Structure 1
Amino acid sequence: MRNPLFARGGGYRAGMSDAHPRDVLVTGTPPVSERAQRRRLTVEIWIVLGLSLGRSGVYALVNILDRLTAGPPLGDQSTTINPPLNARPWLDVIYQVLAIGFALIPVALALYLLSANGRSATRRIGLTFARPWRDLGIGVGLAALIGVPGLGLYAIGRAIGITVEVQPTTITDHWWTIPLLIVLALKNALLEEVVAVGYLMERLRDLRWSPPLIVVTSALLRGSYHLYQGWGPFFGNVVMGLVFAEYYRRTRRVMPLVVAHTVMDLVVFVGYALIPEDWLTAVGLD
Structure 2
Amino acid sequence: MLEWLRSLSPRTEFVAVIALAFGWAIVSSTASVLAGPPPPAAAPEFTAGGLWGIVFLEVMTLALLTVLLSARGWTWPQLSRPWAQSDLLIGPALLVTAYLSYALLATLASHSGVALREPTFEHGVGWAAVLGVSVVNGFYEEALVCAYVIVALRERWGLWPAIHASTAIRTAYHLYQGSAGVLFIVPLGLIFAGWYARTGRLWPLILAHVLADALALSVMA
Q: 2:47 aligns with which of 77, 83, 103?
A: 83
Q: Report the CA distance between 1:102 and its aligned residue.
A: 2.3
Asked if the contact 2:142–2:202 (Cα under 8 Å) also holds between the matched residues in 1, the reply is yes
- For 1:105, the equivalent position in structure 2 comes to 60
Residues 76 and 152 of structure 1: is their aligned pair in 2 closer, same or farther, counting only changes over 3 Å?
farther
Q: 2:13 aligns with which of 28, 32, 44?
A: 44
Residues 64 and 250 of structure 1: is their aligned pair in 2 closer, same or farther, counting only changes over 3 Å?
same
- For 1:29, the equivalent position in structure 2 comes to none
> Relative contact order: is structure 1 or structure 2 higher (C-alpha 8 Å, sep ≥ 6)?
2
Residues 253 and 114 of structure 1: is their aligned pair in 2 closer, same or farther, counting only changes over 3 Å?
farther
Q: Which runs of 4+ in 1 moved over 6 A?
A: none
Q: What is the letter of the counterpart of residue 118 of structure 2? A: E
1:144 maps to 2:99: no
Q: Report the CA distance between 1:122 and its aligned residue.
A: 2.0
Give the 5 Å matches for 1:6-155.
40-68=9-37, 72=39, 77-80=42-45, 82-85=46-49, 96-97=51-52, 99-116=54-71, 121-126=75-80, 128=82, 130-131=83-84, 133-150=85-102, 153-154=105-106
Aligned partners of 1:262, 1:48: CA distance in 2, in Å? 22
TM-score (norm 1): 0.65
TM-score (norm 2): 0.82
Q: What is the letter of the counterpart of residue 240 of structure 1? A: L
1:173 maps to 2:124: yes
Aligned partners of 1:45, 1:58: CA distance in 2, in Å? 17
Q: Judging by fraction of residues, say which structure has more helix.
A: 2
Asked if the contact 1:60–1:225 (Cα under 8 Å) also holds between the matched residues in 2, the reply is yes
- SS of the equivalent of 2:119 reads strand
Q: 2:164 aligns with which of 216, 220, 231?
A: 216
- SS of the equivalent of 1:67 reads coil
Q: Report the CA distance between 1:79 and its aligned residue.
A: 1.6
Uncovered stretches (5+) of structure 2, i.e. residues with no partner? 1-5
Uncovered stretches (5+) of structure 1, i.e. residues with no partner? 1-35, 86-94, 275-286
1:243 maps to 2:191: yes
